[in-house]
Amino acid sequence: MTTVVEARGLRKDFGALRALHGLDLSIEAGEVFGYLGPNGAGKTTTIRLLFDFIRPTAGSVSVLGGSGADPAVRRRVGYLPADLPVPRRHTANDVFDFYGALRGGFDRRWVDQLLQRFELDPTRPVGQLSTGNRRKVGIVQAVAHRPEFVVLDEPSSGLDPLLQREFALLVRELVSDGATVLMSSHVLPEVEELADRVGILRAGRLVRIATVDELRQQARQRIELRTTGAADCAAFAALPGVVDASADGNIITITVEGSVDAVIKVAAQFEVDRIVTHETPLEEIFLGFYEGSQ
Amino acid sequence: MLWWALGVLVLVAFTAALYPSIRNEAGFDEVIKGLPESMKVIVGYDPNVPVTSPAGYLHGRLFALLAPLVMLVFAISAGSDAIGGAEEAGILEPLLAHPVTRTRVYVERYAANLAMLTALVGLFALTVIVVAGPVGALEGIELTRLAGGCAAMLVLAHVHGAVAFAVGAFTGRRGPAVAVAAALAIAGYLAQSIVALSPSLRWLRFLTPWHAYLDRNTLVYGASAAAFVIPLIAIAGAVTLGHWVFVRRDLR
């Protein structure tokens, strides 16, 4: 397997602030790498180092065997920034034409097909588009030239569930055509469906690299049971995997690490009205890793 | 750009339209002669060129202050936008994710900037010829002198535009670019006024691009070589230094 991204001792300081503490990371060809971390952990800093927008304080990073500063490398890379600013009166077509020209042309039929799939009208000025639609412009722009390596910064934020599905399909297609994908996110669900491996970044340090299956076994979930009768959390506290159980009125809140099977089986004894599971922020899901690294 | 072009057209047309009404007002010249020395400097008065003559009128009304001021404001605004403003708006990073080098972005944005300013000054010159000619406001002015005056104006404005461009490339911000270039323009203009009024401070003239531009009526005598040489050196210096920093620093 060839290595698409290779970071060695990558460090970046912004004045007195150390944004990255000697990052070591390899992304292999053909994989989808999920880059997870809370906001401010250094995800975007890493991506900006890949593209040579900023220069490392120490260490090195290579992209596709070369430097992100090299136009020949950038030609083979697609980038979806967290925010793609476009002058308001330009249309999506203007964007594709402009960036396409910089690359020496693009596959118009492929772009038309993408526009259809994402239901985007390319003739409307970007200023009139909703946030979600502007996101689509960015997505299509990032893959218009069928790049070998795609970097997606918080890709599906702003997309409704239907389009998130379409987006996931697109990523799978790119990968089956041989592309490598790096996608950053601050929530696990955004990447768990697509990623082969996940790297967890906290305060500029990579605290864990694992496959999604490994993570699922360890990740914490928080479940709320709304019972009709009186709530009793004592029955849950001793179960395997339960980290925390508390009751407030008729709501039982349980935090579980790994499988929730035992909890569900005990819950069956109660008269449960509703089960609510929260999209727990990464900070909490991976509290274990964070605490362990402190 | 369209609005700027329209503004220049209106300014020149309005100025030219007023010329027939003052050309025969001999008293007007007397009024100007009676002005204090500092006021004469501001209107670019030259005792050998009556203000009611075409060259005196156009110089006083357009070339001595109003036209270079318009060009200067445009040059600073466009210059600070080209890299500083674009970077602040987050446009440069997506652009540089494509197969272009920083040098190419720098050079092409600089060239576009200079081209826009040249087009605006060119339009100004053309409008003067087309509008002022028919009302007799160009009588006795050689076309080469007019072209030289406009070229000197272009260079004067571009010094400030290039500084704004370079400071923008330095800092990645629009604000400092506008501030530095505007401060330079005001300081330069003040220095020129001081030079014109107090001969003992004449050495200051090498520090201000305004002096070489304003020390004579370019429509009568033509532009001096100094009006080009000193600013061109400054432009080359600013643009080179801006590039040196821009390709080395972190984007914001």
Give the closest of A54, A69, A103 to B98, CB-based.
A103
> What is the band of A173 on the pLDDT scale with cuts at 50, 70, 90?
very high
Query: CA-nearest residue of chain B to A50?
Result: B97
Give the closest of A72, A77, A85 to B91, CB-based.
A85
Calpha distance A102→A109 (Å, rounded): 18
What ipTM score was computed for the predicted complex, to two decimals?
Answer: 0.85
Kindly state whether A103 is in contact with chain B, defined as any CB-CB distance less than 8 angstroms.
Answer: yes
What pLDDT sits at residue A294? 40
Tokens representing A160 are: 């409704």
Please report residues of A whose CB lies closer than 8 A to that of B101. Answer: 69, 71
Q: Per-residue pLDDT averaged across A62-85, rounded? A: 93
What pLDDT sits at residue A290? 52
Query: CA-nearest residue of chain A to B247?
Result: A53
Calpha distance A215→A126 (Å, rounded): 39
pLDDT value at B110 more than 60:
yes
Please report residues of A whose CB lies closer than 8 A to that of B95. Answer: 102
Tokens representing A202 are: 């906290």
List Cα–Cα distances, A90 to A123, A124, B77, B92, in angstroms: 9, 8, 21, 16
Q: Per-residue pLDDT averaged across A100-106, rounded? A: 89
Kindly state whether B98 is in contact with chain A, defined as any CB-CB distance less than 8 angstroms.
Answer: yes
Kindly state whether B1 is in contact with chain A, defined as any CB-CB distance less than 8 angstroms.
Answer: no
What is the crossing angle of helices A131-143 and A108-117, to 10°?
150
pLDDT in tens, A255-291: 888 788 888 888 888 888 888 887 565 556 565 555 5
Kindly state whether A90 is in contact with chain B, defined as any CB-CB distance less than 8 angstroms.
Answer: no
Which class for A123: exposed (0-12), middle (13-18), buried (19 or more C-beta within 10 A)?
A: exposed
Q: Per-residue pLDDT averaged across A152-174, rounded? A: 89
Please answer whether residues A92 and A140 qualify as being in contact, where contact means their C-beta atoms are separated by less than 8 angstroms: yes
Calpha distance B242→B252 (Å, rounded): 15
Report the candidate in A199, A215, A222 with the shortest Cα–Cα distance to residue A24.
A199
Calpha distance B42→B49 (Å, rounded): 15
Give the closest of B89, B99, B251 to A102, CB-based.
B99
Say how many CB pairs under 8 Å bridge A and B: 45
What pLDDT sits at residue A272? 87
Give the closest of B96, B98, B100 to A53, CB-based.
B96
Handedness of CA B198, B199, B200, B203 (dihedral sign): positive
Return all residues near A190 (Cβ < 8 A) that are at least 6 apart: A154, A155, A156, A157, A183
Please answer whether residues B242 and B169 qualify as being in contact, where contact means their C-beta atoms are separated by less than 8 angstroms: yes
What pLDDT sits at residue A241? 84
What pLDDT sits at residue A177? 94
Provide the whole-model pTM.
0.87
Report the candidate in A2, A9, A1, A177 with the shortest Cα–Cα distance to residue A78.
A177
Report the candidate in B117, B99, B75, B92 with the shortest Cα–Cα distance to residue B246.
B92
Handedness of CA A38, A197, A63, A115 (dihedral sign): negative
CB atoms within 10 A of CB A235: 15
Please answer whether residues B231 and B158 qualify as being in contact, where contact means their C-beta atoms are separated by less than 8 angstroms: yes
The DSSP line for chain A is: --EEEEEEEEEEEETTEEEEEEEEEEEETT-EEEEE--TTSSHHHHHHHHTTSS--SEEEEEETTB-TT-HHHHTTEEEE-SS----TT-BHHHHHHHHHHHTT---HHHHHHHHHHTT--TTSBGGGS-HHHHHHHHHHHHHTT--SEEEEESTTTT--HHHHHHHHHHHHHHHHTT-EEEEEESSHHHHHTT-SEEEEEETTEEEEEEEHHHHHHH-EEEEEEEESS----HHHHTSTTEEEEEEETTEEEEEEES--HHHHHHHTTS-EEEEEE----HHHHTHHHHHHH-
Top pLDDT among A238 and B246 is at B246
| Arithmetic mean of pLDDT over chain B | 90
